[in-house]
Amino acid sequence: MRVVILTCYPEMFPGSLGHSIIGNALENKKFSLEIINLHNFGIDKRGSVDDEPFGGGPGMVIRPDVIEKALNSIILKTHNFCKIFLTPSGQQLSQTKLNNLSKYDEMVILCGRFEGVDQRAIEILSFQEISIGDYVLSGGEIAAQVLVEGCIRLIPGVLGHPQSLLEESFSNNLLEYPHYTRPKNWEDTQGNKHEVPNVLTSGHHEKIGRWRKDKAIEKTKNLRPDLLKKGLNDE
Ligand code: SAM
């Protein structure tokens, strides 16, 4: 996958995308990352990209002509591309949405700043509006890294254990079951002892599977009952 980011803060990339599993994927060319500085397409020598909002109000708005010029500088190589504008007022990102986005060959992501972006640019240049959650950040750069990381880890060959994609949270409208590791009997600094659930050390795979499923349902009921309403796929 080819990822192209339009931003006022190019120095914020690759950021988290340069580390760990996603950093390895970048190094191993499972995806490419191009960063375009919107200031290079600014309207004056200072590279200004924004102006006051019509109708008044606080903050500045990124101009549509700047975005159009920046977008026109990208030569898309396929027809299988998407254009995304990250905004709190967009459609909320989900695992299902990430699954769909990960199938594109090219992804252009526009990061907003200040009050946002002139609406004409979003509509005329056909950006789909996506939010990473019901809260407001100062800019789209962290949101872009969230979206790209979420997509890239779904590309075959990126994760060492592809099986983990099948069992992790949201894969079946469930949160994932809890995990435990060594020590089997942990004594905390207060002297209290905490054992790992016996079933996990029983070696009985069927029982372990059933226990994990029950725990996943229990956790989902407690923390995200809205997910259970969508129904489990394997029953
Ligand atoms: N005035 C906007 C509003 O009320 O919806 C908020 C603008 S925010 C301060 C500046 C930029 O940060 C946005 O244009 C967007 O690119 C990014 N941003 C902030 N929160 C976001 C979120 N939850 N999801 C995606 N992008 C976000």
Asked whether 57 lines ligand 1 (CB < 6 A), one says no
> Alpha-carbon distance 48 to 64, whole Å?
12
CATH number belonging to domain 2-152 = 3.40.1280.10
> Alpha-carbon distance 212 to 174, whole Å?
11
Provide the residue count of the chain: 235
CA of 31 to the centre of ligand 1 (A): 26
Parallel/antiparallel/unpaired status of strands 116-117 and 61-62: parallel
Handedness of CA 102, 118, 37, 13 (dihedral sign): negative
Per-residue pLDDT of the chain (235 residues; tens, 9 = 90+): 999 999 999 999 999 999 999 999 999 999 999 999 999 999 999 999 999 999 999 999 999 999 999 999 999 999 999 999 999 999 999 999 999 999 999 999 999 999 999 999 999 999 999 999 999 999 999 999 999 999 999 999 999 888 888 889 998 899 999 999 999 999 999 999 999 999 999 999 999 999 999 999 999 999 999 999 987 765 4
Domain with CATH 1.10.1270.20 in the chain: 169-234
Q: Are 62 and 50 in contact (CB under 8 A)?
A: yes
pTM: 0.95
CATH 3.40.50.920 fits 169-234, yes or no: no
Other beta carbons within 10 angstroms of residue 197's beta carbon come to 12
Domain with CATH 3.40.1280.10 in the chain: 2-152
CA of 150 to the centre of ligand 1 (A): 19
